Structure formats: C-alpha cells, structure tokens
Amino acid sequence: MSPGPTFDRVYVALKEQVAAGSFAPGDHLEPALIGEALNSSITPVRDALHRLVGERIVEAPRNDGFRVPAPTEAELRDLYGWSRDLLELALRKRAPGAGGAALYAARQLDPPGDQAASTAADLFRRIARRSGNPEHEAAVEILNDRLAAMRIVEGRLFIDHEEELETLQSLLADEDLAGLRRAILAYHRRRQRAAPELLIASRLSRDLR
C-alpha cells in the first residue's frame, strides 16, 4: 500500500466523496479519472480504493474494477437492522461516568458536514461510547461510514428528520433508556419500511446536487 501524504490525501478525499453522495449507487470508479481529479498518480488511488473495499465503503465485484455499493432493498433493510441491533447491544452496558448530559455536550466537537448525516452519526457514536466498550464504537463508526450517503437522503426524504434526532438526543441526555430503546426501534423500522423510497431517492440525489 502506498505510504505517505499522497495516499492519505487521496484516501480521505475519496472516502469523503462517497460519504457525501458525490457518486450514484452502482457508479464505476475509474482510478485514472480519479487520479486526474485529485492530482495523483494511479497507484495511490488504487491503494485507497482497495482500502475502502476492505471497509465495505466501495465494492470490487469479481475483481472487475471498483464501484459504489448499490444495495438491494433487502440488503439496506439488513444494514438498518444491524444498526438497530448494535445500538441495543451498546445500551445494555454503561461505563462509569458515562453520563448522558456529558455525552450530549460532546456533539459540538465533531467536524461539520451534512447536518442530517453528521447529527445521526454523532448520536450513535455517543451511544456506543457510553458502553465503555471500544468495539461498540468501532463497529458503529463502520456503520456510520457505510450509511453516510443514505443518511443524507434520509434528511431529504423525511421532513421531520431533525425533530426525530432531537428526540433521540434528549432521551440519551435524560438517561431514559426504555424510551431511547423504543425510539431507536421506531427510527430503524421506519427506514426499513422506506427502503424502496430511499433507494430511489439515492439514485436521483447526485442529479439534485
């Protein structure tokens, strides 16, 4: 793998572009074209793409080039289901001193980004961090990366998206775990039911940017 600042720059830029929905689901990612756009040779681009394949942010079906994942309805429902199950698992344990109010205040430290995606990512990260188990947080970060582009679409499809997240934030800050579990279940079930609409919107989102 290419070491050094060029690889790091290309990897970060590509990851941000995929997360931001700059490519449509199923788009092929041509290393030569990406290299031109990022002022890089092909080798760092290929190495970055291979790393993103390992993180399941990019696909390389049958080793026939690279592409942006294009999940089916069933695959998207499974991804949301895994997010729900992982958060439920994290909520079963609380690390000493991991109070909801302190975690709620940490939100302002996160980098800016699309509001819908960054708010959801931060909220679920704090739920995982609350458990005190770094494996929970690592697994949630992977999900945050894989769902980042879809969460941008969620923010456009669900007009009450901000209010929905504010409710989850308040329940976490108040340590109302029973209410938080119910709200997380409802949050993910809503997205599982809306999987067809979310996929259609995600395919159109690049044209709306």
CATH of the domain at 36: 1.10.10.10
CA distance 65 to 78: 25
For residues 168-195, give the mean pLDDT.
Answer: 96
Note whether 98 and 58 are same-domain residues. Answer: no
Last-in-domain residue among 67, 93, 120? 67
Q: Which residues contact 144 (CB under 8 A, 6 or more apart)?
A: 120, 121, 124, 125
> Looking at the predicted structure, is the pLDDT value of residue 57 above 90?
yes
- Residues across the chain: 209
For residues 161-168, give the mean pLDDT.
Answer: 93
pLDDT of residue 98: 57
pLDDT of residue 10: 95
Last-in-domain residue among 50, 67, 84? 67
Note whether 186 and 117 are same-domain residues. Answer: yes
Note whether 32 and 55 are same-domain residues. Answer: yes
CATH at residue 130: 1.20.120
Return the number of other C-beta atoms located less than 10 Å from residue 43's C-beta: 15
> Looking at the predicted structure, is the pLDDT value of residue 184 above 60?
yes
Which ranges constitute the DSSP H helices of 72-176? Answer: 73-91, 100-105, 115-130, 134-157, 161-173
pLDDT of residue 75: 96
Note whether 53 and 132 are same-domain residues. Answer: no
Last-in-domain residue among 22, 47, 67? 67
> Looking at the predicted structure, is the pLDDT value of residue 2 above 70?
no
Considering only 26-40, 45-59, 87-101, which range has the smallest mean pLDDT? 87-101
Note whether 87 and 144 are same-domain residues. Answer: yes
> Looking at the predicted structure, is the pLDDT value of residue 108 above 90?
no
Note whether 125 and 191 are same-domain residues. Answer: yes
pLDDT of residue 135: 94
CA distances from 169 to 9, 105, 177 (A): 33, 10, 11
- 8 Å CB contact between 21 and 62: no
Strand partners, 29: 66
pLDDT of residue 101: 40
Note whether 179 and 111 are same-domain residues. Answer: yes
Q: Which residues contact 131 (CB under 8 A, 6 or more apart)?
A: 90, 91, 92, 93, 94, 95, 98, 137
Note whether 52 and 141 are same-domain residues. Answer: no
> Looking at the predicted structure, is the pLDDT value of residue 209 above 80?
no
pLDDT of residue 116: 72
Note whether 133 and 148 are same-domain residues. Answer: yes
Note whether 134 and 180 are same-domain residues. Answer: yes
Q: Domain count for the chain, please give it.
A: 2
| Terminal-to-terminal C-alpha distance of the chain | 33
pLDDT of residue 95: 73
Note whether 138 and 175 are same-domain residues. Answer: yes
pLDDT of residue 104: 42
pLDDT of residue 99: 52
Considering only 26-40, 85-99, 103-117, which range has the smallest mean pLDDT? 103-117
> Looking at the predicted structure, is the pLDDT value of residue 52 above 70?
yes
Report how far Cα 102 is from the mean position of its chain's Cα atoms: 23
Note whether 145 and 172 are same-domain residues. Answer: yes
Residue 3: pLDDT band with limits 50, 70, 90? low
CA distance 146 to 144: 6
- DSSP code of residue 59: B
Domain ranges, residue 56: 5-67
Phi-psi region of 132 (alpha: psi -120 to 50; beta: other; left: phi over 0): left
